Amino acid sequence: MNILNNAEKRTYGAIVIGSGMAGGWAAKEFCDKGIKTLVLERGRKVTHNEDYPTTLLSPWEMEHRGQLTKQEIDENPIISKCYAFREDAKHFFVKDAEHPYIQDKPFDWIRGYQTGGKSLLWARQTQRWSQLDFDGPARDGFAVPWPITYKEIDPWYSYVEHFAGISGNKDGLDSLPDGDFLPPMELTCVEKHFQKEMKRLYADRHVIIGRCAHLTEPRDIHIQQGRGTCLGRNLCQRGCPYGGYFSANSSTLPWAAKTGNMTLRTDSVVHSIIYDEQKQKAVGVRVVDAHTKEMVEYYAKVIFVTAAAINTNLILLNSKSSRFPNGLGNDSGLLGTHVAFHNYRASLSAEYEGYLDYKTAGGRPNSGYIPRFRNLYKQETNFLRGYAAGMSGGRGTHSDQSSVGESLKNSLLNPKWSNWYAGSHMMGETIPKESNKVTLDATKKDAWGMPLLHMDVSYDNNDDLMVKDFIDQFTEMYEKAGFKNIKTRDSHAPAGLDIHEMGGVRMGSDPKTSLLNKWNQMHHVKNVFVTDGACMTSTSTQNPSLTYMAFTARAVDYAVKEMKKGNL
């Protein structure tokens, strides 16, 4: 181990671990507030536009027309289950063999190790939580109460929405508060039909256009970021040349860089956080160079851990000292427990025989959304909590490809329009449980000297009951709305494919039952903050990233105020 000299040169105001969705926001906020910030990213450098090699390719310009080879699928049984792992975006995903973990129970862990993390790859759905979501654990008694209220996070949602650019409609629903929206995208005619029928048939079920991080009408703040209008190419996972969708690469990181306060160090695997027993605080981090494997230390007054939920757990569990032998800040022994996720197992497809004089054109990078309606105000089913759902209806073409030569050419040039199809997929809340946990292997290490992670996380009976209810309710809803050929599916996939891992370092008011306080600050190590999914006390049903962004901006604001008061 070679500890380099010049500690002063390796000292910053703040260190941010991970440059993805949450880390990008931490970097931007610290830099905007004049704090010299070191962003440590374990993956390679991916610069907006310069490093999007497939962004302008047509299908015939790709060796396999956008598909994966059989060999790639065989070599990547986990990651190839993810719909976005395709020829055009595969370079942004961690391959199964590169970063192994131990599945005590099967868990599909989908990762993106590069500048921007998974913010390059996400589906950009962005819904706020409501007070009903924050009330969940206290009302139903399945986790510790949240230490914050919707009212406290509301201005921070607006703050991040304004900068990121969120398109949406003001729907006025209790379950899904409206935000600071750019103009909404449009539902297709079959989605509007479903919307109308749901309104007619049910008082509590709403079909709305998804709220998503796309610039439908850029504001001055987006032009300043160098971003432009989304043109509906729907090829976002390749990286968007126009910056039409929000990613750390297109938005927060270049903004932070422009301040002159950010140092981004890629290929830097954070091994652990250094705790100083005398000062009783964290003083820096140990970093393994991804290529040379040399270890270097960096120092700062405040450290933000935003390495994506499971990796944040790994880094904290690996940060052992005599004060914290079981991981940083882990007096409660709960670090790594209560890991939760979303239940995306169930889906439904259907056909609609009308509207044949309408077609779709272009690509809309969005879909309809049905906010949660089960157990919203009170317990009314045989399972706890509820689910939201996606809803999309479109119309495709098909060509008879059974012939050859001239006849095949004519058939391909004159495709026939099919009926309208529609579908929904479930987005269920799962219950954080102490038994759903991640731990470190005692002996096995990865190529960078980090202990291998044991993943002991799975679905339970509550999830099975919820899947059944989704299938029953949505079959009834589609039937009543006149859809035909309804097919339902429980994928029985292992946990993880929702790519919304949460928990392990949960927030709460009581240090005996939680790791972080209401400011995302470690109860026992005041200058360490966790603002990615690891902080989540419960999961609700909404896609989580908008909430991580809001928590991060709010926590940086607090941390900088505390630094100025000399408290950190």
Ligand X SMILES: Cc1cc2nc3c(=O)[nH]c(=O)nc-3n(C[C@H](O)[C@H](O)[C@H](O)COP(=O)(O)OP(=O)(O)OC[C@H]3O[C@@H](n4cnc5c(N)ncnc54)[C@H](O)[C@@H]3O)c2cc1C
The verdict on 253 binding ligand X (CB under 6 A) reads no
> What is each CA distance from 402 to 67, 218, 407, 416, in whole angstroms?
21, 46, 9, 15
- Interaction residues for ligand X, span 292-331 (CB under 6 A): 306-308, 311, 315
| Positive or negative: CA dihedral 229, 234, 237, 239 | negative
Q: Which is nearer to ligand SF4, 46 or 346 (CB)?
A: 46
Task: Please classify residue 331 by burial: count the beta carbons closer than 10 Å to its beta carbon, then call 0-12 exposed, 13-18 middle and 19+ buried.
Answer: middle
For ligand X, which is the closer residue by CB, 189 or 283? 283
For residue 565, count other CB atoms closer than 10 A to its CB.
8
DSSP designation for 155:
H
Contact segment (CB under 6 A) with ligand X among 41-49, 139-147, 357-365, 477-485 equals 41-49
Under rule CB under 6 A, residue 165 binds ligand SF4: no
Q: What's the CA gap between 395 and 406, in Å, rounded?
A: 27
Torsion sign, CA atoms 86, 87, 89, 92 = positive
Let me know the angle formed at the C-alpha of 252 by 554 and 209, rounded to the nearest 5 degrees: 80
Q: Identify the residue among 14, 17, 79, 240 touching ligand SF4 (CB under 6 A).
A: 240
Using rule CB under 6 A, residue 529 touches ligand X:
no
Residue 270 touches which of ligand SF4, ligand X, none (CB < 5 to 8 A by kind)? ligand X
Would you count residue 21 as binding ligand X (CB under 6 A)?
yes
Q: Minimum distance between the CB of residue 284 and ligand X, rounded to whole angstroms?
A: 14
Q: Residue 113 touches which of ligand X, ligand SF4, none (CB < 5 to 8 A by kind)?
A: ligand X
Closest contact distance (angstroms) between CB of 86 and ligand SF4 is 14
Does position 92 interact with ligand SF4 (CB under 6 A)? The reply is no
Near ligand SF4 in 202-231, by CB under 6 A? 214, 230-231
Contact of residue 232 among ligand SF4, ligand X, none (CB under 5-8 Å per partner type): ligand SF4
**Closest distance between ligand SF4 and the C-beta of residue 165, in Å?**
10
Dist. CA 436–CA 54, nearest whole Å: 38
DSSP calls for 16-85: EE--SHHHHHHHHHHHHTT--EEEE-SSB---TTTT-TTTT--GGGSTTTTPPPHHHHHH-TTGGGSTT-
Total residues contacting ligand X (rule CB under 6 A)?
A: 41
How many angstroms separate the Cα of 311 from the Cα of each of 5, 113, 377, 438, 504? 28, 11, 35, 10, 10
The DSSP code for 404 is: -
Strand-pairing partners, residue 270, are: 287
Tokens 């395709």, residue located: 86
Pairing of strands 181-182, 295-305: unpaired
DSSP 8-class letter at 285: E
- 102-103/281-289 β-pairing: unpaired
- Is 244 a binding residue for ligand X by CB under 6 A? The answer is no
**3-state class (DSSP) for residue 174:** coil
Question: Is 365 near ligand SF4 (CB under 6 A)?
Answer: yes
> Are 113 and 474 a contacting pair, CB within 8 Å?
no
Please, what is the minimum distance in Å from the beta carbon of residue 309 to ligand X? Answer: 6
Interacting partner of 532 out of ligand SF4, ligand X, none (Cβ under 5 to 8 A depending on kind): ligand X
All residues at 6 or more sequence positions from 170 whose CB lies less than 8 Å from its CB, including other chains: 178, 181
Q: Does 84 bind ligand X (CB under 6 A)?
A: yes
* Residue closer to ligand SF4 (CB basis): 119 or 337: 119
In the complex, minimum distance from the CB of residue 122 to ligand SF4, in angstroms, rounded to a whole number: 11
By CB atoms closer than 10 A (0-12, 13-18, 19+), residue 326 is middle
CB 143 within 8 A of CB 164: no
Distances (CA, A) of 122 to 29, 111, 424: 22, 11, 19
Q: Which of 33, 48, 99, 118 binds ligand X (CB under 6 A)?
A: 118
Residue 43 touches ligand X, criterion: CB under 6 A: yes
Show contacts with ligand X in window 119-138 (CB under 6 A).
Answer: 119, 121-125
Nearest CB to ligand SF4, comparing residues 228 and 511 = 228
Binding partner at 22 among ligand SF4, ligand X, none, C-beta below 5 to 8 Å by kind: ligand X
Sort 52 into a burial class: Cβ within 10 Å, 0-12 / 13-18 / 19+: buried
The mark string for 243-282 relative to ligand SF4 (x by CB under 6 A, - otherwise) is -xx-------------------------------------
Which of 2, 69, 224, 234 binds ligand SF4 (CB under 6 A)? It is: 234
Q: Which does 231 bind (CB under 5 to 8 A by kind): ligand X, ligand SF4, none?
A: ligand SF4
Contacts for 149-152: CB closer than 8 Å, 24+ residues apart: 150/177, 152/518, 152/554
Between 42 and 205, CB nearer to ligand X: 42
From 14-22, 139-147, 349-357, 404-412, give the range in contact with ligand X by CB under 6 A: 14-22
| CB of residue 433 to ligand X, shortest distance in Å | 21
**Residue 82 lies near ligand SF4 (rule: CB under 6 A):** no
Between 11 and 229, name the residue whose CB sits nearer to ligand SF4: 229
Which residue ranges make up the site for ligand SF4 (CB under 6 A)? 214, 230-236, 240, 242, 244-245, 365
Which residue ranges make up the site for ligand X (CB under 6 A)? 17-23, 40-43, 82, 84, 110, 112-114, 117-119, 121-125, 268-270, 306-308, 311, 315, 499-500, 532-533, 543-545, 548
